[in-house]
Structure 1
Amino acid sequence: MAYKIISSQCTACSACEPECPNVAIYEKDGTFVINPKKCTECIGYFDDAQCVAVCPVENTCVIDNSYPRYQA
């Protein structure tokens, strides 16, 4: 599963963008979004998803259940 950013909660602080090892996070229309095709849930890089770890707003970066779990 990929992560997604709930746009209504995103403060556009940009903390997540430089932390993504897959360059899956980008700014769009004043908030940040995650490209699900690039998101690997940080598997193989970190123990925890970095977008979740650095986001100052709790429950803004969440699992997107509409995509299958990432397989390394």
Structure 2
Amino acid sequence: MEKKLRNWTNAMSIVGITISLLSIFMTYIPGFTMRFIQTSLAASGVTLTVISLLLKLFVINNKQKSIEQEF
């Protein structure tokens, strides 16, 4: 279970960073004038990355600490 959660959070952070980078490079597309889409994509990418990092910090670390306390 813990390994699956760690894999999912790693995948979430990679996807979030990729979405953010894609939205940054959208400015180089000729004729692209939809700044709202670019801003919302960047915000969703950053949000996804932050959520995955918070999951890693609090959920996975707390599970490891609770498992260590049992033994």
TM-score (norm 2): 0.25
Which structure has the larger Rg? 2
**Comparing both structures, which one devotes a greater share of its residues to helix?**
2
